[in-house]
Structure 1
Amino acid sequence: MSVPPADDSPPSSRRIVVVGGGLAGLAAAAALAARGLAVTLLESRPRLGGRASSFDDASTGDTIDNCQHVAMGCCTAFFDFCRLTGIEGQFERQSHLNFVAPDGRISRWSAAALPAPLHLAPAFLKLSYLTLREKLAAARGLRALARGWDVRTGESFAAWLERQRQPQLVVDRFWYVVLVSALSESLDRIDVGYARKVFVDGFLANRAGWEVTIPRAPLDAIYEGPLLSWLERQGVDVRRRSGAAAVELAEGRATGVRLRAGDSVAGDAFILAVPQDRLLPLLPEPLRESAFFRRAAEFETAPISSVHMWFDRPITELPHAVFVDRTCQWLFAKPKGASGESGGYYQIVVSASRQFLELSTSDAIEHVRRELADIWPAAREANLLHARIVTEHKAVFSPTPGIDALRPTQQTPVENLFLAGDWTATGWPATMEGAVRSGYLAAERVLARLGRPASIVPPELPVGRLSRWLYGLSSVRA
């Protein structure tokens, strides 16, 4: 799509209206405000953050995240956003991960003092739940995936694994464990290209790619605290409880956003940073029917469930754990809160939770408790003080085979109307990184239209020399 002609008015006199206070909208607003533009940020909810947000649990009074969000070292745009807005110190990088085998044994995952991709080889070889034969099969699969051997456009990762003759136990205990956490989908519903991206960017290309970073506090405390303060210092007009009802058009251009309350917010350029299922209701009928926008209705989504459990005592000393061959994928130990100084509060994550959601709430909680008790005797002995399940039914767009054909660019056919959101064309799956990249890309399009072209999206981590040689990976990536 060609870039529309530059606006001939001084950029500082133009107002940019961003609809949506999730990470995509926050990133777009921050990038534009940092470059001196006037920005109005509209968010329908009382809190910023979108799906990456928190709420107060009525029973305990604790502020809890709707779901635990993590970032990996390969998420360069997300960390750039954190540095830009001064919230980098709100996240803690983990030195290792704890993989919990079906029999309860812990395999510590950390990097050795070796260049990528060998930095994780010692940890991989020490995994207790795979035999040497199975590890060799997984290594052969990794090499084939990294080199793109027999990778077919629009194919599911499950089909690719079958052609590679990967043993079922390797599929269940290696490929699935990584990808269901990263992409929140089953392997038959993952495009092989996105599976490749997870393993190449996260584990093979650069030593730092795998490192997991976790928020130090509830997300609400970060977004409504230091991040909001930074935005306001930059002059961003942040309006919560300001739900958008419709985009107003005149003579082929967007002129304003009508709010549900009835008043309108005028602007010179508009970024709709909303989920794909909320885009079409905001558009006038002619736009809604256009091929460009209509594709938003074709996305499929996947749920993520988070089980919050408050015990009267700690059930494990681990700060976090990755489960193998379980319904649950992750456990995160949280500040004690209502469980008291001697208690333990944990968040357990179930990604791609369609089957889990078929259980009643009480059965689902009991199922999770049994899985924890199978691993840690303390979980059998501890009293469960309180539990609740929080599900984002449309947590992520499903990275189904051929999904890239549906993902729209940030520039729309309307010259001053732009899109942001992890579902837009970023080259990344539905992650915090994808959301921030989309916001940055939308900001780049706005600046180009104002005659101030700028490169905002940071480069991805460089590929190590040995990784380039072993896997034929490009040394420079966008």
Structure 2
Amino acid sequence: MRNEEPKSEPPARASGSVIVVGGGLAGLAAAVGLAGRGFKVTVLESRNRLGGRAGSFRDPQTDQLVDACQHVSMGCCTNFAHLLRTIGVEHLLSPQPKLYFVTPDRRVSVFKSDPWPAPFHLGRALMGAHYLTPFDKLRVAYGLGRMLLERPDADPPLLPWLKAHFQNERTIGRFWAIVLTSALNETVDRVGLKYARKVFRDGFVRHRDAFTVHVPSVPLGRLYGDELRGWLAAHGVEVRENAGVKRLTCTPSPSGTRISGAALRDGSTLTADWYVLAVPFDRVADLLPGELAGEPYFGGANGLTPSPITSVHLWLDRPTMKLPHAVLVDCLGQWVFDRGEVAPGEFYLQVVVSAARDLKGLGREEIQRRIYEELGRLFPPVAHAKLLRAKVVTEHTATFSAVPGVDRWRPPQASPVWNLAVAGDWTDTGWPATMEGAVRSGYLAAEAILARAGQPAKLVQPELS
């Protein structure tokens, strides 16, 4: 999708006011990028917290902060790391130099890097995977080699491509799907080659530190909590929570339509010189003024389809895992995280089921039962522990689905409306739907506003190389 600038550009301003609609990672990144550059920035968030989908809720029984879904980053996520470093919370991420892969027979393979240059640093880890036969590993190595030789923009359906390159049912299910379903929140039969290739190239092959998983050591509500608010306040950014925007308004001008205000649900209207619309793709149409409803730039969001994530939260009366996490092979769950003792006598596990369409129609009790029984088979202490309570949370529109050719529906951040930029992991970031993609989109939206205001700046951080 091409970005069409207005035919007649109004005079550039050296500064001004900015309203950012949405306090998720994309909106926060845009606010951080614009802060301290002569703009008065206001962030409007409809909820009573920041972080968007990467957020926490309060357990009503204990008042504990609980993440709706466990979010992790990787070493290749340079912009997400930059955002956390800027606001001073990077130390709240815990790097995991080892990944533990567990099969239903309870065998464990440890995936770690050797002190060799990329791409050879993970060769021994792949060769040590007990759940693949030696011939499977040769198939995987061949498939990876051929994938890396493909054009970066090639995006045919992945599953036929894998089969055409000698991948069998076992390598598809026990290697490609294990990585990609977690990384893309989509099943192998639905994704395109482009972002599958990017996951493996950027996350595992390009740099020896890229694959390191970083897990927040605190709830996400704490990660995007006091330090973030303090940083924003110190840099002149006003954050207004419980300030849901009903619709943007616009007025015609000699240079074309411009956004003139943000009408809030409480009946008030706020105005600014510049606007950033940083909301999920399924909210864009609801917030646009009627005059822009037919604009092709905004119509791309209608072509995106959502993919759900389900997380199962379990509180037990004793410790049950000796591993900080486990990647589950041939299981219903994909990841389980052991968050330790979160209250006296309460030990918390969270299981993540990505691309959770198969769970649709099952009640929460049935999902909980299946996951709990599965963990009991994998980790016998779970079966002997007392389940104190449990909670099942499904985010039905967690991410967009990275289907073949999905980029044709992802617009650039600089919209045809002169004073409006759009942000969100669903916009054109070159990344799939991740926290890294969200932050990149916010930085790119801020760059678009800075360029139009006559203050061009580069905010997006370089990738690992």
TM-score, with length taken from structure 2: 0.96
Name the counterpart of 2:270. Answer: 265
CA distance in 2, matches of 1:153, 1:223: 36
Residue 195 to residue 8, structure 1, CA distance change in 2 (3 Å): closer
Name the counterpart of 2:12. Answer: 8
Cα pair 1:179 1:198 within 8 Å, conserved: yes
CA distance in 1, matches of 2:340, 2:40: 39
Residue 458 to residue 152, structure 1, CA distance change in 2 (3 Å): closer
Name the counterpart of 1:459. Answer: 462
Cα pair 1:6 1:451 within 8 Å, conserved: no
Residue correspondence of structure 1 range 237-248 to structure 2 within 5 A: 237-248=238-249
Q: Report how far residue 240 of structure 1 moved.
A: 0.4
Tell me, yes or no, if structure 1 residue 420 matches structure 2 residue 423: yes
- Which has the larger displacement, 34-43 or 235-244? 34-43
Cα pair 1:3 1:449 within 8 Å, conserved: no
Query: Secondary structure at 2:404's aligned position in 1?
Result: coil
**Matched positions, count:** 457
Cα pair 2:14 2:455 within 8 Å, conserved: no
Match of 1:122 among 103, 121, 124: 124
Cα pair 2:327 2:336 within 8 Å, conserved: yes
Name the counterpart of 1:470. Answer: none
Match of 2:339 among 318, 334, 337: 334
CA distance in 2, matches of 1:34, 1:308: 40
Cα pair 1:6 1:450 within 8 Å, conserved: no
Q: Which amino acid aligns with 2:322?
A: E
Q: Deviations over 1:411-452 (max 9, x none)?
A: 111111110000000010000000000000000000001101
Tell me, yes or no, if structure 1 residue 176 matches structure 2 residue 177: yes
Residue 157 to residue 305, structure 1, CA distance change in 2 (3 Å): same
CA distance in 2, matches of 1:239, 1:231: 12
Q: Deviations over 1:340-362 (max 9, x none)?
A: 34x42101000001112332222
CA distance in 2, matches of 1:154, 1:441: 24
Tell me, yes or no, if structure 1 residue 22 matches structure 2 residue 27: no
Tell me, yes or no, if structure 1 residue 319 matches structure 2 residue 361: no
Residue correspondence of structure 1 range 104-123 to structure 2 within 5 A: 104-123=106-125
Match of 1:370 among 369, 373, 380: 373
Tell me, yes or no, if structure 1 residue 410 matches structure 2 residue 413: yes
TM-score, with length taken from structure 1: 0.93
Q: Which amino acid aligns with 2:12?
A: D
Cα pair 2:320 2:379 within 8 Å, conserved: yes
CA distance in 2, matches of 1:460, 1:427: 11
CA distance in 2, matches of 1:36, 1:105: 57
CA distance in 1, matches of 2:56, 2:143: 39
Q: Deviations over 1:23-58 (max 9, x none)?
A: 000000001004342101000000011000001111
CA distance in 1, matches of 2:117, 2:241: 47
Q: Which amino acid aligns with 1:412?
A: S
Name the counterpart of 2:398. Answer: 395
Structure 2, unaligned runs of 5 or more? none
Name the counterpart of 1:95. Answer: 97
Q: Which amino acid aligns with 2:213?
A: V
Name the counterpart of 2:56. Answer: 54
Cα pair 2:249 2:289 within 8 Å, conserved: yes
CA distance in 1, matches of 2:308, 2:376: 25
Name the counterpart of 2:217. Answer: 216
- Which has the larger displacement, 327-336 or 198-207? 327-336
Structure 1, unaligned runs of 5 or more? 463-478
Q: Report how far residue 454 of structure 1 moved.
A: 0.6
CA distance in 1, matches of 2:182, 2:95: 18
